[in-house]
Amino acid sequence: MPATYEDQQFFIGGRPTDSVSGRRMDVTDPSTGKVLTSVPAGDAADVAGAVAAAREAFDTGPWPRMSGRDRGRVLHRVADLIRERADELVEVESRDVGKPVTLARHVDVETVAQQYEYCSALAQTLDGSVRDTPIPALAYTRREPLGVVGAITPFNFPLILSSTKIAAALAAGNTVVHKPADDTPLSALFMARLLADAGVPDGVLNVVTGTGPEAGDALLRHPGVDKIAFTGSTAVGRRAASVAGEHLKPVTMELGGNGAHLVFADADIEIAVGAVIKAFVFNTGQFCMAGPRLLVAAEIHDTVVGILRHAVPGVPLGDPRDPATVIGPMAGDQHRKKVEEYVALARQEGGQIVTGGERPALGGDLADGFYYAPTVITGLPADSRVVNEEVFGPVLTVQSFADEDEAVALANSTAYGLAAGLHTRDLTRAHRVAGRLDAGIVWVNDWAMLDPAVPFGGVKQSGFGREYGPEALEAYTKVRSVVISLPPTTATGEQS
Ligand code: NAD
């Protein structure tokens, strides 16, 4: 077993630390179903230790007191180290989540390096402004860090989603306690050591592994935590926001999604179908920004479904270690079971399975992995639960629309509002429809074009607050106003 998987411990106050209780939880390789390693199972006592370290680092340590430029220099070293150690990070993320290595390298690891590069620049932009007032005073504002940030992250993009929070929070001068997902915690522990190697001072980033109801809940309630940055399901987010609300902690909520992908009759069908496939098989459909609801103009419905029927089974599925693999296993057997339940429900609801709808037959080491064939379903009614709920797996439902108004109405008919996309050659329509969709981000003629400079977040039940872009600093800073009395003076400098 590579060294990375041995002796997994929390990272608190700059040191590997074991849990107070000594309890541990297994981490499984989803591609084989075999136990890979274990991590400490943290609880309130461990969270208290991590918050104390983060508090001390914030109250007395150098990080919040450094200039933004100096913090930026350290964050840039983090990006450099990520690139130097990319092979190890790819290995950890692929083993832990079941991610195809090509995806892990070109999306996860590369994105995280870019996030730190971007945030190293952002750290230097924390500024305020002078306010013109009629009162005899110099009035100005400053942007200041919030304090200790509690970050809680989901299983599907562990590296990217934790770095989204941590890089921005650190850029602003905060310190962090991170609780990664129960079943994919390894890259968080790896990154904590990497940040320390890059020169992030002790106590600035602390990682406690454990379950949501134990470690996560303790983080939400801890009085020493000044802000909660949560990414996860809408159901858990709702509970987390209410606990944080009891304690009057500000929260950022990045929650579930169920993106609509609209294909108008004038679209470039080849480009559109490529994007449609990407949008539901990417990361084996475990993707908050997935596009699992295809809405296609009635006149091209049968053509598009015909192309999907032939193209989808050809997407390479299998061993995540094979560089050609596009679809790996799901990250856990419980996630696959949920998908199977939804596909069974789709059959009951009258849906027709165009392709997929079963576990693929794989042999050897992969026989017990958590694989599920990419599945396309037509014929579901508009009020189908499979259409309206977040399946979070490689499942695409297809509905047709008669005109633009119906397309928009169907797109906006779920409780979610994270991502949406549309395909058309008509630029006027692209602008018009993009402005009508309930979504924090809208892609035109592609899917999942993301960049650390472009803000990301949801509306409706997909949450609130924005990450990425300069907007991220608003989530991790507070504004202080300073008003200095300047009594009017005479020309000789005496008070008049
Ligand atoms: P989840 O809600 O089950 O868990 C998310 C995190 O919350 C985990 O760390 C978990 O341990 C923790 N948690 C669980 N119960 C808790 C509790 N009682 N108190 C405090 N913390 C608790 O989500 P998941 O299954 O890991 O991830 C999938 C979900 O995340 C999907 O709904 C997906 O859409 C969403 N997601 C959203 C975004 C986004 O940016 N909007 C990104 C990725 C995933």
Helices (runs of H) and strands (runs of E) counted in the chain = 16, 20
| Residue 288 annotated as catalytic | yes
The predicted structure's pLDDT at residue 364: 95
| Residue 340 annotated as catalytic | no
Query: Both ends of the chain: CA-CA distance in Å?
Result: 79
The predicted structure's pLDDT at residue 6: 77
CB 119 within 8 A of CB 52: no
CB 30 within 8 A of CB 369: yes
Spatial distance between the Cα atoms of 234 and 416, rounded to a whole number of angstroms: 9
Q: How far is the CA of 449 from the centre of ligand 1 (A)?
A: 22
Catalytic residue among 254, 278, 390, 460: 254
- Residues flanking ligand 1, CB < 6 Å: 152-157, 161, 179, 181-182, 211-213, 216-217, 220, 231-233, 236, 239-240, 254-257, 288, 390, 392, 418, 458, 462-463
Sign of CA dihedral 409, 411, 415, 416: negative
Q: How far is the CA of 81 from the centre of ligand 1 (A)?
A: 28
Spatial distance between the Cα atoms of 17 and 421, rounded to a whole number of angstroms: 45
pLDDT (tens place) for every residue of the chain, 496 residues total: 454 677 799 999 999 999 999 999 999 999 999 999 999 999 999 999 999 999 999 999 999 999 999 999 999 999 999 999 999 999 999 999 999 999 999 999 999 999 999 999 999 999 999 999 999 999 999 999 999 999 999 999 999 999 999 999 999 999 999 999 999 999 999 999 999 999 999 999 999 999 999 999 999 999 999 999 999 999 999 999 999 999 999 999 999 999 999 999 999 999 999 999 999 999 999 999 999 999 999 999 999 999 999 999 999 999 999 999 999 999 999 999 999 999 999 999 999 999 999 999 999 999 999 999 999 999 999 999 999 999 999 999 999 999 999 999 999 999 999 999 999 999 999 999 999 999 999 999 999 999 999 999 999 999 999 999 999 999 999 999 999 999 877 777 676 6
Spatial distance between the Cα atoms of 236 and 233, rounded to a whole number of angstroms: 5
pTM of the model: 0.97
Residue 205: strand pairing partners: 176
The predicted structure's pLDDT at residue 1: 41
Residue in 97, 115, 152 to alter for ligand 1 test, most ligand atoms within 8 A of Cβ: 152
Spatial distance between the Cα atoms of 158 and 171, rounded to a whole number of angstroms: 20
Closest CA to 276 of 389, 368, 397: 397
Q: Which two tokens stand for residue 324?
A: 């050609």
| Residue 474 annotated as catalytic | no
Spatial distance between the Cα atoms of 39 and 4, rounded to a whole number of angstroms: 12
Which 8-state DSSP code applies to residue 51? H
Give the number of other Cβ atoms within 10 Å of residue 420's Cβ: 30
Catalytic residue among 165, 227, 278, 460: 165
CB 209 within 8 A of CB 197: no
The atom of ligand 1 lying closest to the CA of 180 is 9
| Residue 467 annotated as catalytic | yes
Q: Which two tokens stand for residue 291?
A: 């596009």
Spatial distance between the Cα atoms of 216 and 431, rounded to a whole number of angstroms: 41
Amino acid identity of residue 334, one-letter, is: Q
The predicted structure's pLDDT at residue 4: 60
